[in-house]
Amino acid sequence: YHSIAQIIAEELEVDLALVDIQFAQGNEKKYGSQLTGGSSTIRGAYKNLLKLSASAREVLIMAAAAKWSAPTSECYAESGHVIHKPTGKKFHYGELVADAAKLQAPKDVILKPRSAYKLIGKPLHRKDTPLKTNGQAIFGIDKRIPGMVFAAVERNPRLRGKIKSVDDSAARKVPGVTNVIKIAMGVYDMDREGVAVIATSTWAALQGKKALKVEWNDSGFEHVNTPDIYRKQREVLNTEEGRMLKTQGDPNGIIAKSKDILDVVYETPYQSHAAMEPLNCIGHHRGDTVEIWGPVQAPNWIQDYISKKMGIAFDKVIVNMTFLGGGFGRKALMDYPHEALVISKAIGLPVQVIWAREDDVTQGPFRPGISYRCQGVIENNEVSAVKFRMAGQNNDHFRSGDNGKANRSTSEGWLKPYFETIKNISFADVLFQTPIPTMFWRSVYASTNGFAYESFVNELAHKAGKDPLEFRRQYLKEERAAKLIDKVEQ
């Protein structure tokens, strides 16, 4: 939010206090990908933003120089003005933009040296801090539009069960409740039915939801539970080699010959995203146009999904973004905007759907629960072979299906920074899908892989009779990583 403005203001030479930061609407043609995720903004756009703002600065200098009939070498930018060195004359940027817009912006620009930075790397007052402190920040749950109503949805706790019967008599008696309807939609093309309570306030909708009596048909999903999932994951780890992500040497041969193998299994649980702001979204279905307002991480994904699901032209799916209230990957999914539009279409009104915290932690999608089998051989107190396999759900599988290939994202947190020098090593994933929806969770697979990986390194060190930190230093290639170990030890 703040960093983009900070980078642009640095090279554009403007006072950051005078910059007004606004949320952009979803517009892939204009902006390209607008995904908020993976800490990708600075990593992916930093240099381009510097060049863009420096180019804008230079074209403003060109416009001013033309007005003065002076060479650009006599002009410089400072605090939102272009100044003529010999005379001290100056133009405000606002006086130059019309002329600058007619000029060809230079492609090759000279960027400031880091030593000249006034904003980047400096302690600054974030522009959103006062808003979030005094209550002026508009999160999705704060947003209001004319004529909107509110809805809360009772969903099957087994995620994919069907509605058998509904008694909504008590719900309809709750003051403020105006309607109760059945809805059906999909999450990753998996059917999900629910009962939506429509009301004049959030409180009335939530109280009406509590008053519902719904009987569910859970046939076929009674035995989808975590103990069974982990048991089956262990079974496939014992019988399947999986799809290879990295292999070198002959780890299988060395492990087969060894009489002393470290063979351990780790399990990591399904985890809710549990953002501070529960899921919510305003949807307005107008027939050939739909519009949403809310906390979303991937407006372009939503446009594409809604366009295909509801038969609306891509450019007729309007996405208005608010402050996120925490996302961690969950708010990149398209189900909650879709749900708001499904209800809006049914009742003919704009509606804000509010998820209770209980919905948020029980309905998913979740970080995948994953099991790991890690095998290693220590010979002469050195690691001679390691073999890693993981069995769990692949987030990309839900969105794009299984192409039969290993997914590189599942290897996050493995192999680096240790073991790159080991001659006999392999890492594979065994795709193990369940009806439980999963989605990117902050750090994605590094959060689960990191636990198994670091735990296994500790066990290898113990088996080799070495201090865990010294053992790690032994296999580190990168000096930066080695310095981190030194810092941890201190």
Task: List domains and CATH numbers for the chain.
Answer: 2-129 (3.30.365.10), 141-220+274-362 (3.30.365.10), 240-271+366-489 (3.30.365.10)
Query: pLDDT by residue (tens digit) across 56-107?
Result: 999 999 999 999 999 999 999 999 999 999 999 999 999 999 999 999 999 8
DSSP state, residue 363: S
Residue 192 is predicted with a pLDDT of: 83
Cα four-point dihedral sign 220, 221, 226, 229: positive
Q: What would the two tokens of residue 356 be?
A: 């209770």
Query: pLDDT by residue (tens digit) across 198-226?
Result: 999 999 999 999 999 999 998 777 677 89
Residue 327 is predicted with a pLDDT of: 93
Average pLDDT on 386-407 reads 71
Q: Please, what is the Cα angle at 8 between 43 and 331, to 5 degrees?
A: 50
Amino acid at 335: D
Residue 402 is predicted with a pLDDT of: 55
Query: pLDDT by residue (tens digit) across 14-67?
Result: 999 999 999 999 999 998 889 888 888 898 899 999 999 999 999 999 999 999
**Pairing between β-strand 280-285 and β-strand 75-78 as defined by DSSP bridges:** unpaired
Choice among 165-174, 218-227, 339-348, 474-483 with the minimum mean pLDDT = 218-227
Amino acid at 464: A
Residue 404 is predicted with a pLDDT of: 58
Spatial distance between the Cα atoms of 75 and 114, rounded to a whole number of angstroms: 21
Asked if pLDDT for residue 187 goes beyond 80, the answer is: no
Find, among 414, 447, 418, 444, the residue nearest to 428 by Cα.
414
Residue 365's pLDDT band, with cuts at 50, 70 and 90, is confident
Average pLDDT value over all residues in the chain: 92
Asked if pLDDT for residue 420 goes beyond 90, the answer is: no
Residue 344 is predicted with a pLDDT of: 99
Residue 227 is predicted with a pLDDT of: 92
Average pLDDT on 164-180 reads 98
Largest CA distance in the chain: 86
Tell me what percent of the residues of the chain surpass a pLDDT of 70.
96
Spatial distance between the Cα atoms of 350 and 198, rounded to a whole number of angstroms: 11
Count of CB atoms within 10 A of residue 34's CB? 20
Spatial distance between the Cα atoms of 463 and 457, rounded to a whole number of angstroms: 10
Average pLDDT on 258-281 reads 95
Cα four-point dihedral sign 304, 309, 315, 321: negative
Average pLDDT on 312-318 reads 97
Query: pLDDT by residue (tens digit) across 331-349?
Result: 998 999 999 999 999 999 9
Residue 389 is predicted with a pLDDT of: 94
Residue 403 is predicted with a pLDDT of: 54
Asked if pLDDT for residue 397 goes beyond 80, the answer is: no
| Strands of the 425-431 sheet, one edge to the other | 243-248, 425-431, 382-392, 370-379, 261-268
Residue 393's pLDDT band, with cuts at 50, 70 and 90, is confident
The neighbouring-strand residues paired with 271 are 367
Residue 412 is predicted with a pLDDT of: 76
Asked if pLDDT for residue 360 goes beyond 60, the answer is: yes
Residue 137 is predicted with a pLDDT of: 96
Residue 437 is predicted with a pLDDT of: 83
Residue 477 is predicted with a pLDDT of: 82
Residue 147 is predicted with a pLDDT of: 98
Q: What would the two tokens of residue 99 be?
A: 């002329």
Residue 405's pLDDT band, with cuts at 50, 70 and 90, is low
Asked if pLDDT for residue 401 goes beyond 60, the answer is: no
Residue 444 is predicted with a pLDDT of: 82
Asked if pLDDT for residue 189 goes beyond 70, the answer is: no
Spatial distance between the Cα atoms of 161 and 194, rounded to a whole number of angstroms: 9
